[in-house]
């Protein structure tokens, strides 16, 4: 650091920095001989100054009389047409009070306060146009270009610079010593007023906080007193109500015995079978309807005797599922077959749940048995009818496809040949164009008829098997729809039964149609996999997913599947498989089908399949 700058930094507060040129003035203004005059000035401890300014809570506040009077007094004492009280924010000079200005702030690039930021001095410039420190950097505030300019710094008690009290004029001016001392005194008064204002605001905040704490303590004290009074009243009420509670308990015990008697009376005439077991599954009680459905007497049904009524083919699976549901606290609901002592096979629907004590301890199980034999027979007949309808539908599709291919397709081919013969005739240009259009339409109709016949019933499904038919279907679908389909088929995929191949092909066909019509997805994935337990077909997309739109809501607000999904489920049911349709809005949809390998028909037990077995 040079000697000139060292002497400048040791300048006492109140020292006047003249407007003359020279190294001292240029160093003081933060310029280097005018070459860096366009740079924006930053004070040495800008972060500390900004934090000190924030604590005063002065930025962007409304005008205050005390500061307006100081600014007016500075203008009058200095005889200046412009006066303003400026605070230095991070990106701007903000004016708390102003005289002769039409703006409330200017950017930091305007050189208003750098002199006051570096020194505890009063800076004044008689003529900014003649001062080399403002060469190429005019001092313009709003629409006013200042010729005369003076600034006195505003400092906090800990030495941080907050801004400046400034005066200026549009003509060159000078300040006598009394005016300079007055401007410094006014800046010190502003700093003192700021400190007083901050302490006053802090005191008001502290008073508010103390009042809030006192109110909180009073509320807590009141709550504690209310709690003590309430507990005292509760204890007194309990003492008074103890005899009443004893009598009430006796009344409840009597009502419980009456309720048990009522339960036994109702269960005795219930059309649904009811039985109770302990925690180990041993029967403790069964009503007459239960014993009638199982074909056992009362003593035969007690203990584990009721399990002997379960059909031997269903017994182990039913008991495993029963125990799993009871352990997990879930309701058991299952349809199974029973075999009574008379050799009759009946279908029953069993529902069971846990009985818990008041302390949530397991006491046993309660179950109901409903005879659903007639319904099962009706469902079986409906299933057979549905299968027959599907077979008739597929037969009709095969016939329609053959007719389209053999009859209509051949006629279109003959039409194309005849039209092509006309191409050698001497025709006018307009007639030749019409002939060309007719030939193109005939070819297009022929291709569409061939595609339609293949979609109705592809010949390669019968000739080459499901794998080849799936490849052809996916390739054609991708070409027609523009959807990119990723196909994955197990190597050496074997031939399946005709029923399985047709069902899987129709399900894939319907799934791809749904992807094109409803998903809006640009991609899809198809997997056809052989497993030890059967065949899996999985179709997925990345579209808009399933949503409860109007076509999925029935007349009573119940969600119902579309015709296509219902048809897929019926095909899967005919082959004893499973189908899962999953999806969520925005996450795509998946259709997963599993069909088991065909098994030999199981042997029939005595009474099963007889029309008389379903009659009571």
Give a three-class secondary structure readout of 141-186.
ECCEECCEEEEEEEECCCCCEEEEEEEEECCCCCCCHHHHHHHHHH
> Between 465 and 119, where is the model more confident?
465
Residue with more model confidence, 470 or 304: 470
CATH topology of domain 269-371: Beta-Lactamase (3.30.450)
Q: Where are the beta strands (DSSP E) in 233-381?
A: 273-277, 283-286, 332-339, 345-356, 362-371
Q: How confident is the model at residue 165 (pLDDT cuts 50, 70, 90)?
A: very high
Query: What whole-number percentage of the chain has pLDDT above 70?
Result: 75
SS3 label, residue 128: coil
Residue 137 per-residue DSSP state: -
Query: Does CATH place domain 460-616 in 3.40.50.800?
Result: no
The neighbour count for residue 605, using CB atoms within 10 Å, is 14
Strand positions, DSSP E, 357-493: 362-371, 484-489
Q: Which residues contact 215 (CB under 8 A, 6 or more apart)?
A: none
567 CB-near residues (< 8 Å, 6+ apart): 390, 506, 510
Angle at 477 between CA 472 and CA 482, to 5 degrees: 135
Task: Report strand pairing: 534-541 vs 578-583.
Answer: unpaired
Calculate what percentage of the chain has a pLDDT beyond 90: 13
Class in CATH terms, 3-202: alpha beta
Helix or strand holding residue 510 (H, E): helix 498-514
The answer to whether 101 touches 72, Cβ cutoff 8 Å, is: no
Average pLDDT for 107-130: 72
Identify the pLDDT of residue 517: 83
DSSP lists the bridge partners of residue 537 as 528, 593
C-alpha distances out from residue 50 to 42, 45, 47, 531, Å? 11, 9, 5, 73
| pLDDT of 23 | 33
Contacts of 562 (CB under 8 A, 6+ apart): 551, 552
* Residue-level pLDDT at 510: 84
Mean pLDDT of the chain: 76
* pTM for the predicted model, two decimal places: 0.38
Contact (CB, 8 A) for 495 and 465: yes
Task: Please write the tens of the pLDDT for every residue from 482-531.
Answer: 889 999 988 888 888 888 888 888 888 888 888 888 888 889 999 998 88
Report residue 454's pLDDT band, with 50, 70 and 90 as the boundaries: low
176: confidence class by pLDDT, cuts 50, 70, 90: very high
Distance, C-alpha 542 to centroid of its chain: 17
* More reliable by pLDDT, 34 or 187: 187
Least confident stretch, 24-38, 278-292, 454-468:
24-38
Helices 46-56 & 177-268, crossing angle to 10 degrees? 70
> Helix (H, G, I), strand (E, B), or coil: what is residue 270?
coil
Looking at per-residue confidence, does 90 or 255 come out higher? 90
Q: Please, are residues 527 and 486 in contact by the beta-carbon 8 Å criterion?
A: no
């Amino acid at each position: 650091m040079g000697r000139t700058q060292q002497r400048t930094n040791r300048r006492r507060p109140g020292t006047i920095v003249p407007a003359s040129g020279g190294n001292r003035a240029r160093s003081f203004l933060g310029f280097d001989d005018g070459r860096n005059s366009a740079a924006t000035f930053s004070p040495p401890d800008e972060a500390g100054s900004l934090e000190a300014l924030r604590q005063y809570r002065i930025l962007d506040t409304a005008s205050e009389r005390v500061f307006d009077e100081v600014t007016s007094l500075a203008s009058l004492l200095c005889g200046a047409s412009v006066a303003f009280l400026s605070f230095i924010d991070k990106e701007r000079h903000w004016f708390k009070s102003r005289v002769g200005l039409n703006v409330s702030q200017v950017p930091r690039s305007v050189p208003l306060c750098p002199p006051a930021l570096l020194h505890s001095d009063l800076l004044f410039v008689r003529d900014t146009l003649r001062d080399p420190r403002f060469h190429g950097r005019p001092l313009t505030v709003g629409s006013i270009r200042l010729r005369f300019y003076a600034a006195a710094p505003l400092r906090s008690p800990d030495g941080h610079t907050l801004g400046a009290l400034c005066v200026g004029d549009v003509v060159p001016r000078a300040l006598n010593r009394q005016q300079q001392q007055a401007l410094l005194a006014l800046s010190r008064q502003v700093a003192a007023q700021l400190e007083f204002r901050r302490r006053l605001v802090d005191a008001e905040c502290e008073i508010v906080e103390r009042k809030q704490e006192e109110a909180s303590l009073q509320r807590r004290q009141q709550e504690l007193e209310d709690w003590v009074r309430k507990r005292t009243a509760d204890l007194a009420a309990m003492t008074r109500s103890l005899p009443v509670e004893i009598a009430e308990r006796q009344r409840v015990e009597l009502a419980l015995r009456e309720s048990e008697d009522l339960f036994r009376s109702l269960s005795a005439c219930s059309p649904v079978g009811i039985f109770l077991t302990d925690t180990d599954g041993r029967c403790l009680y069964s009503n007459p309807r239960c014993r009638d459905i199982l074909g056992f007497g009362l003593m035969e049904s007690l203990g584990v005797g009721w399990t002997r009524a379960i059909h031997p083919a269903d017994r182990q699976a039913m008991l495993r599922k029963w125990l799993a549901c009871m352990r997990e606290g879930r309701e058991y609901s299952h349809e199974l077959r029973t075999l009574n002592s008379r050799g009759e096979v009946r279908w029953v629907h069993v529902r069971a749940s846990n009985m818990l004590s008041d302390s949530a301890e397991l006491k046993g199980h309660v179950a109901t048995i409903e005879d659903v034999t007639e319904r099962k027979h009706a469902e079986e007949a409906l299933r057979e009818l549905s299968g027959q309808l599907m077979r008739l539908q597929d037969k009709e599709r095969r016939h329609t496809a053959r007719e389209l291919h053999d009859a209509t397709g051949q006629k279109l081919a003959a039409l194309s040949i005849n039209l092509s013969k006309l191409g050698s005739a001497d025709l006018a240009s307009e007639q030749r164009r019409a002939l060309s259009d007719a030939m193109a339409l005939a070819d297009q109709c022929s291709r569409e008829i061939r595609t339609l016949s293949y979609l109705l019933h592809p010949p390669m499904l019968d000739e080459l098997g499901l794998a080849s038919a799936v490849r052809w279907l996916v390739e054609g679908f991708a070409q027609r729809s523009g959807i990119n389909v990723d196909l994955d088929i197990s190597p050496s995929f074997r031939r399946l039964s005709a029923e399985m191949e047709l069902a899987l092909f129709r399900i894939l066909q319907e799934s791809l149609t749904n992807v094109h019509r409803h998903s809006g997805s640009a991609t899809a994935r198809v997997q056809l996999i052989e497993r030890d337990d059967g065949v899996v077909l999985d179709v997925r997309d990345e579209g808009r997913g399933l949503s409860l739109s109007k076509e999925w809501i029935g007349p009573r607000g119940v969600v119902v599947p579309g015709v296509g999904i219902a048809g897929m489920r019926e095909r899967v049911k005919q082959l004893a498989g499973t189908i899962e349709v999953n999806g969520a809005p925005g996450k795509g949809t998946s259709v997963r089908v599993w069909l088991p390998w065909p098994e030999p028909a199981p042997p029939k037990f005595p009474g099963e399949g007889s029309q008389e077995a379903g009659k009571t």
